[in-house]
Amino acid sequence: MTNVSLINDKIHLFRQVEKVIVKPLLSGGIKMNNAAWISLLIAGIFEVIWALAMKQSNGFTKLWPSVVTFAAMWASFAFLSFALKSLPLGISYAIWVGIGTVGVSIFSVIWLRESITISQIICIILILVGIIGLKFQTN
């Protein structure tokens, strides 16, 4: 995948997020608490994107992966900030970091061909169970 197609994919993703989440939220089409959870999920997804892009930037020596890194960081923090308006900080932060941890772990194995052990997989599953548990135990 070329850098240009990677950037185009990210631009398309930003536009889809705007269309599906941001516009309905601003128009009142999504309830606030649901919107906060959706925003937290999106923040976690952007955390995965910026971590993977940072790896591809080779220490910020490659322009487009570096641009994607900073754009995704900004988006991740923006969505997290919105979620924090109505969700508890400690729970939100744990879920945000957990989504990033699980997502980066999965994509680093699939996309970057990094190795993973059975015990690491079990630990990642435990993190995922923790994320799900926190979501369902938080109003």
Which three-class secondary structure state does DSSP give residue 92?
helix
Place of tokens 């919105």: 82
Domain total in the chain: 1
Residue 130 contacts residue 98 (beta carbons within 8 Å): yes
CA distance 86 to 25: 14
* Residue 97 backbone dihedrals phi, psi, to 5 degrees: -65, -40
pLDDT number for residue 12: 67
Give the range of the structural domain holding residue 27, as residue numbers without chain letter: 3-136
Query: 69-79: buried (b, 16+ CB within 10 Å) or exposed (e) per residue?
Result: bebbbebbeeb
Nearest to 134 by CA among 89, 85, 104: 89
Which is nearest to 50 in space by CA: 82, 22, 78?
A: 78
**Which mean pLDDT values do the consecutive 10-residue runs of the chain (139 residues) have?**
64 64 56 83 97 96 96 97 93 94 94 93 92 82
Q: How far is the C-alpha of 63 from the C-alpha of 65, rounded, in Å?
A: 6
Distance in angstroms (rounded) separating the CA atoms of residues 40 and 44: 6
Residue with the two structure tokens 């599906």: 20
